Chain A
Amino acid sequence: MEQLKTIGRELAMGSQGGFGQSKEFLELVKSIGEARSKAEEDRIVLHEIETLKRRISEPDIPKRKMKEFIIRLVYIEMLGHDASFGYIHAVKMTHDDTLLLKRTGYLAVTLFLNDDHDLIILIVNTIQKDLKSDNYLIVCAALNAVCRLINDETIPAVLPQVVDLLGHQKEAVRKKAIMALHRFYHKSPSSVSHLFPNFRKRLCDNDPGVMGATLCPLFDLITVDVNSYKDLVLSFVSILKQVAERRLPKGYDYHQMPAPFIQIRLLKILALLGSGDKLASEKMYTVVGDIFRKCDSTSNIGNAVLYECICCVSSIYPNPKLLEAAADVISRFLKSDSHNLKYMGIDALGRLIKISPEIAEQHQLAVIDCLEDPDDTLKRKTFELLYKMTKSSNVEVIVDRMIDYMISINDNHYKTYIASRCVELAEQFAPSNHWFIQTMNKVFEHAGDLVNIKVAHNLMRLIAEGFGEDDDAADSQLRSSAVESYLHIIGEPKLPSVFLQVICWVFGEYGTADGKYSASYITGKLCDVAEAYSNDETVKCQSLVEELSASHSTDLQQRAYELQAVVSLDAHAVESIMPLDASCEDIEIDKNLSFLNSYVQQSLENGARPYIPESQRSGVLDISNFRSQDQPEASMHGLRFEAYELPKAPVTSRIPPASVAPSTELVPVPEPSYSRETHQVASVPSISDAGSTELRLRLDGVQRKWGKPTYSSPTSSTSNASQSTSNGVTQVDSAANVNSKARHTHDSRKPQAEITPEKQKLAASLFGGPSKTEKRPTSASHKVAKASSHAAEKSQAPKAAVVSNQATLDKINHQPPPDLLDLGEPTVTNSAPSVDPFQQLEGLLDPTQVTSTVNHGAVATEAPDIMALYVGTPAGGQSSSAENSLPSNSYDVNLTSELSNLTSGTTNAGATLTQFTKGPNPKDALEKDALVRQMGVTPTSQNPNLFSDLLG
């Protein structure tokens, strides 16, 4: 029947040419619909593209036809084919005067273009014009395009017009203008920060629809800053009351519910405002209670409102009566047959359980039912609830359940997620060591390589250190139980790599610890592993070098060489290099690199530029840094300074390693031979004969590395000293930042060469990953005895520490606050001279800032102000005038939020704001804002007088 109807309609459309579309389009759609395979469909579409390409650029196409072409383009693109050849025609269409074409043009460009597409520049002008149009439909179409096509750079171009539209006579336009401003806020909060009072004003709009639209931006604003909107609690409550009492026009009813979408928004806002605020919450109790009573629980939307009420109740200051009502609704949800309601019930239960844990007990059975439901969504939601409910008493059951579910699913994303949940719970609530090990085994076995590598490190750490109690017996028991279970598991085929590495490491460390198993037995097992997983290089390497480290980031080549060296040494030496059961003993590293201090100081005095943390440099430097390790003379920029010293270097490098020639260290040649090997092809001409001597050289390197420590350490220390002095000489005039950085790398590579290979990588990444510096506080200072989730794993801890210490070391010397440096970033990386004055001035500014932070907010904000003026002058050429005209300044934020508290002060705000419209661009403003925050001063400090003083 359905089909018959369809055919009939098709015929009807064919006869009358469709809805303004030609027969061609109909044919196209039909043939695509009838295509048997993807290939056939592609062929049809490609043919269509050819036709369109040809015809769309013909002159004098009738407008109606043109519209159809554009629609066909949109259709093609929706099917996944490239229609970019027609974008320009869509853009042209927006310039057309007829409403139909203009709207089609706007529709097409909003679907086609990104907000940083090149063609946008052609549209902005049209949008500006259309926003002022008399025809409200054109205005609406333009607003629609504004939402999608305007980015933070073009916002200033249309902002005034959009703001004007807030007073438009048509409520549809007002609504859309608010939404557009909301969108601007998403894209660049600072661009509309001065308009926040407008949102408040629109809350009192005559039209409930406009009021409802205003709730969207207000919700976002309140999410960010609750305190500035506490005064609106009463207004929101009264609006909600009016809505709930059906005071709105009938047109806003939906399925017999008064404006449910507005109710939901309001409840969400109230939940934010009442969170942790008893006073505000008390004002809400009545109205929320009313809604609980009045809501129609038979309709879908009614339940949506009820659910939102529960969320609100669980967020605001608890009220026993409301909690009771919420619990009732939850039980109704859970008992319902609808899976949707069950889902909402489980979710609501998860929220309420934080306030009244006892409520879960009455729903035990319902929860278990949901857990066994075939619906995956419901199941996952239930696991979420269980996760929140976990205590040490029920952890075993819950984790078991989770693991069972984990085994049953294929979705890798969720598997990873739930595995991490299991690990987290197990770490937090584990009742016994044995259980913990067993659980981790299961997780590893089934989730395998999806498990975060850190988890493995934590596990190894736990086994090595025990649970923290000074009970050696328990620790060794833990170890032997781990060894036992691993011996059991290792026979199974196909173990995930991460897990195998853990197993191998444990065997290596503790396999023979309790004397139960002989060393040969364990070694035999390990060899089996190595054979069985011969294609898995990490595991192989790990199982062979397992005593060496618990680290992971394996540089295979390096390992192989080390291994060769180790094997060639006698047993005694091996023992001294790799002491038993010392995996957690700290390897001594001069974390502060204090031997460099004098050098750094010296080169600074000589005018060298201070170290800039990696996060603030562009990639260019990284590359040059990397290169400089191997072939300094080949790299560009500041490294040129180094090149002149090289020619003699290779000569000295070929001197037998016993010689303590200081200059050796300047060249990378004697350094770990693997780099030589890797870059052999690209090695520099000056040491072109390195190829022939390569073997010898390599052995030299190895010997130096693994030779008697007594003799190699003086080598390094002397060379350090000599190196720094020689550097001081060579770099008298202008030691570029790049240079000094390269030096750091060289230096740090040395100490590491004598101690362990771990640190080699450490050094390689010494200036590495900016993310690592974040771990600074946990890893550097204290060692967490218990394997908790945030304790960085062993090998990474020193790494992060050194990285951070390097950073802090440099900071101590020059104290460049990252924000300030950021301002000069582009120039710093390019050329030294243009930056030098900048840096100097910065240095001058620094002391004032430091002192001012100590005192109080008002003075602290003065520093960035100076900075702003300063930035304004030298970099004035860079910031465009358009950006300058932008009224965004950190003060704006301060002022508006300040003054919106004092309701009468809005006019003042306007007056003062105009003074600051010449402020710097939004980026600066943001940075300053960040700086102020960093100094511990919130933008909303309680000191309006001081600000007015500052503003004069």
Chain B
Amino acid sequence: MIRSVMVMNTQGKPRLAKFYDFQTVEKQQELIRSVFGVLCSRAENISNFLDAASIFGPDSSLVYKHYATLYFVLVFDSSENELAMLDLIQVFVETLDKCFKNVCELDIVFNYSKIHTILDEMIFGGQVLETSSTELVKAVEEISRLESASNSINLVPKSVSGWRNR
């Protein structure tokens, strides 16, 4: 089972944090900090895996990937395969890229709810749900279409449609 998905920038600022087992706000911050502490001390060109037992308790591993200014981190237990998790990060980033054309850190900050939508379509309750980025994009677009359709008080259709076509 996947325990947590985190995105943080290279300064250690959280950009996205989702924990599939409840953690208090303080605990979340502590976890993010300690993960960042480990990540930023790791050299380039070494493995993307970490034994996270000291941070997340027994039976937990961590896979991370570094893209531009962001770290993408997945924490999971032994029922998942490390290499596959690495690819899951890849899927996530690919999907973000398709949704925001050349995704960058700011996209993630400003589209907080949309990022969560994408993540929820991909990982559900700690289990991998969908791994095809085309399917993911389709689902997310469907959601935003229906959302805007249902939103009768939408006074600025132009900007919304512009956003959808990005």
- Residues of chain A touching chain B, judged by Cβ–Cβ distance below 8 Å, are 2, 5-6, 9-10, 13, 16-21, 25-26, 29, 33, 62-64, 71, 74-75, 77-82, 98-100, 103-104, 107, 111, 114-115, 135, 137, 144, 147-148, 172, 175-176, 179-180, 182-183, 186, 209, 213, 216, 219, 251-252, 254-255, 260-261, 264, 268, 300-301, 303-304, 307-308, 338-340, 342-344, 373-375, 377-378, 380, 411, 413-414
Q: Smallest CB–CB gap between B142 and chain A, Å?
A: 8
Whether the pair A374, B87 counts as a contact (CB closer than 8 A) is no
Question: Whole-angstrom distance between the alpha carbons of A17 and B134 in the complex?
Answer: 28
User: Are A99 and B86 in contact, CB atoms less than 8 angstroms apart?
Assistant: no
B interface residue numbers (CB < 8 A to A): 1, 13-14, 16-18, 20, 22, 25-26, 28-29, 43, 45-51, 53-54, 68, 79, 81-84, 86-87, 90-91, 102, 104-107, 109-114, 116-117, 120, 124-132, 134-135, 139, 142-143, 146-148, 150-154, 156, 159-160, 162-163
Contact (Cβ within 8 A) A144 B124: yes
Contact: A213 with B147, CB < 8 Å? no
- Cβ of A343 and Cβ of B47 under 8 Å apart? yes
Q: Quick one: given A78-B17, A378-B46, are A182 and B125 in contact (CB under 8 Å)?
A: yes
Q: Measured between C-beta atoms, what is the minimum distance from A687 to chain B in Å?
A: 47
Closest CB in chain B relative to A606 CB, distance in Å: 49
Chain B residues contacting A182 (CB-CB under 8 Å) are 125, 127
Extra pairs beyond A21-B110, A100-B147, A304-B87 (12, CB < 8 Å):
A9-B104, A18-B110, A29-B109, A78-B16, A78-B17, A82-B25, A114-B22, A137-B142, A216-B127, A300-B87, A340-B48, A374-B43
Chain A residue numbers with a CB within 8 Å of B109 are 29, 33
Known: A64-B153, A219-B79, A260-B84. A339 touches B46 (CB 8 A): yes
Could you list some 6 contacts between A and B, CB below 8 A?
A107-B116, A148-B125, A264-B84, A304-B81, A340-B49, A375-B46
- Among residues of B, the one whose C-beta sits closest to the C-beta of A80 is B29
Given contacts A19-B163, A99-B147, A340-B83, contact A374 B46 (CB under 8 A): yes
Closest chain-B Cβ to A29's Cβ sits at a distance in Å of: 5
Whether A252 contacts B106 by the Cβ 8 Å rule is no
Q: Which residue of B lies closest to A172 (CB)?
A: B139
Q: Nearest 6 CB-CB pairs, A to B?
A: A304-B83, A413-B54, A339-B47, A147-B125, A375-B46, A80-B29
Contact pick for B81, options A26, A33, A137, A308, CB 8 Å: A308
Closest Cβ of chain B: how far from A233's Cβ, in Å? 20
- A219–B112 Cα distance when bound, in Å, is 33
Q: Could you tell me the distance between the alpha carbons of A172 and B143 in the complex, rounded to whole angstroms?
A: 12
The 8 Å CB contact of B159, one of A17, A25, A260, A344, is: A17
Query: Does A209 lie within 8 Å of B46, measured CB to CB?
Result: no
Q: Which residue of A lies closest to B15 (CB)?
A: A78
A175 (CB) vs chain B CBs: closest residue: B129
Give chain B residues whose Cβ lies under 8 Å from the Cβ of A176. Answer: 124, 129
Determine if B110 and A80 form an interchain contact, defined as CB atoms under 8 angstroms apart. no
B153 touches A63 (CB 8 A): yes
- Also in contact, A339 and B116, with CB within 8 A (given A209-B130, A268-B79, A307-B83): no
Which of these, B14, B113, B139, B142, contacts A104 with CB under 8 Å? B113
Smallest CB separation, B165 vs chain A (Å)? 13
Partner of B83, one of A137, A301, A339, A377: A301
Q: Which residues of B contact A183 (CB under 8 A)?
A: 125-126
Residues of A within 8 Å of B120, CB to CB, are 107, 144
Which chain B residues lie closer than 8 Å to A413 at the CB level?
53-54
Q: Is A254 in contact with B125, judged by CB distance below 8 angstroms?
A: no
Docked complex Cα distance between A331 and B3 (Å): 32
Which B residue sits closest to A311, measured CB to CB? Answer: B81
Instruction: Name the CB-closest residue of A to B104.
Output: A6
Contacts of B106 in A (CB 8 A): 6, 9-10, 13
Residues in chain B near residue A251, CB distance under 8 A: 132, 134-135
Which residues of B have CB within 8 Å of A375? 43, 46-47
User: Known contacts A175-B129, A413-B53; is A80 also within 8 Å of B26 by CB?
Assistant: yes
- Give B61 Cβ to nearest chain A Cβ, in Å: 9
Name the residue on A nearest B151 (C-beta). Answer: A100
- CA distance in complex: A20, B16 (Å): 19
The contact of A301 among B46, B87, B127, by CB within 8 Å, is: B87
Expressed in whole angstroms, the Cα–Cα distance for A300 and B142 within the complex equals: 30
CA distance A135 to B150 in the complex (A): 11
The residues of B that contact A82 with a CB separation of less than 8 Å are 25
CA distance A167 to B84 in the complex (A): 30
Q: Chain B residues near A378: list those with CB within 8 A.
A: 46-47
Q: What residues on A are CB-neighbors of B159 within 8 Å? A: 16-17, 20
Contact B112 A303 (CB under 8 A): no
Are B150 and A98 interface neighbours, CB within 8 A?
yes
Q: Nearest B residue to A81 by beta-carbon distance?
A: B25
Contacting residues, chain A, for B152 (C-beta < 8 A): 98
Q: Flag if A19 contacts B111 (CB, 8 Å).
A: yes
Other-chain contact of B132, A16, A100, A252, A380 (Cβ < 8 Å): A252
Inter-chain CA distance A197–B166, complex, in Å, is: 45
**A26 close to B47 (CB less than 8 A):** no
Q: Are A411 and B47 in contact (CB under 8 A)?
A: no
- In the complex the two chains form, is B131's CB within 8 Å of A377's CB? no
User: Of residues A5, A179, A251, A373, which shows the largest number of chain B Cβ atoms within 10 Å of its Cβ?
Assistant: A179
For the complex, give the distance between the alpha carbons of A486 and B72 in Å: 50
Docked pose: A100 CA to B134 CA in angstroms: 23
Q: How far is the CA of A209 from the CA of B128 in the complex (A)?
A: 11
CA separation between A99 and B90, bound complex, in Å?
A: 30
B residues near A268, Cβ cutoff 8 Å: 79
Least CB separation from B150: chain A residue: A99
Question: Residue A304 contacts which of B29, B84, B104, B129 (CB distance < 8 angstroms)?
Answer: B84
Q: Which residues of B contact A261 (CB under 8 A)?
A: 84, 128, 131
A77/B25 in contact, CB under 8 A: yes
Shortest CB–CB separation between residue B35 and chain A, in angstroms?
A: 14
- A17-B159, A99-B147, A179-B125 known; A2-B104 Cβ under 8 A: yes
| Contact in complex: A5, B153 (CB < 8 Å) | no
Inter-chain CA distance A339–B125, complex, in Å, is: 30
Contacts of A260 in B (CB 8 A): 84, 87, 131
A307 to B83 Cα, complex, angstroms: 9
Closest partner residue, chain B, to A380 (CB atom): B51
Bound complex: CA of A33 vs CA of B142, how far in Å? 32
Cα–Cα, bound, A892→B4 (Å): 34
Residues of chain B within 8 A of A219, CB atoms compared: 79
Q: A99-B151, A209-B130 are in contact. Are A71 and B84 (CB under 8 A)?
A: no
Q: Please measure, in the bound complex, the distance between the C-alpha atom of A209 and the C-alpha atom of B135, giving whole angstroms.
A: 11
Q: Indicate whether A179 sits within 8 Å of B46 (C-beta atoms), given known contacts A19-B114, A114-B22.
A: no
Q: How far is the CB of B67 from chain A (nearest CB, A)?
A: 12
Residue contact A179 to B127, C-beta cutoff 8 Å: yes
- Residues of A with C-beta under 8 A to B45: 339
B146 with A213: CB separation less than 8 A: no
With A and B bound together, what is the CA distance between A385 and B129 in angstroms? 33
Contacts of B107 in A (CB 8 A): 9
- Check if B125 sits within 8 Å of A180, measured CB to CB: yes
B34 smallest CB distance to A (angstroms): 11
Evaluate contact between A340 and B47: CB separation under 8 angstroms: yes
Inter-chain CA distance A100–B1, complex, in Å, is 29
**Contact across chains for A5 and B82 when beta carbons are under 8 A apart:** no
Chain A residues with CB below 8 A from B151, complex form: 63-64, 98-100
Q: Which residues of A contact B135 (CB under 8 A)?
A: 251
Determine the chain B residues whose CB is within 8 A of the CB of A114 once the complex forms: 22
- Separation in Å of the B65 CB from the closest CB of chain A? 11
CA distance A796 to B29 in the complex (A): 40
Q: How far is the CA of A343 from the CA of B1 in the complex (A)?
A: 21
Closest to A63 in B: B153
A537 to B151, CA, bound (A): 70
- B49 to chain A: which residues have CB within 8 Å? 340, 343, 377
CA distance A10 to B146 in the complex (A): 27
Contact of A342 with B129 at beta-carbon distance under 8 Å, contacts A6-B104, A100-B148, A251-B134 already known: no
CA distance A865 to B132 in the complex (A): 51
Judging by beta carbons under 8 Å apart, are A26 and B110 in contact? yes
The interface residues of chain B lying within 8 Å CB-to-CB of A301 are 83-84, 87
Which residues from A are CB-within-8-Å of B129?
Answer: 175-176, 179, 213
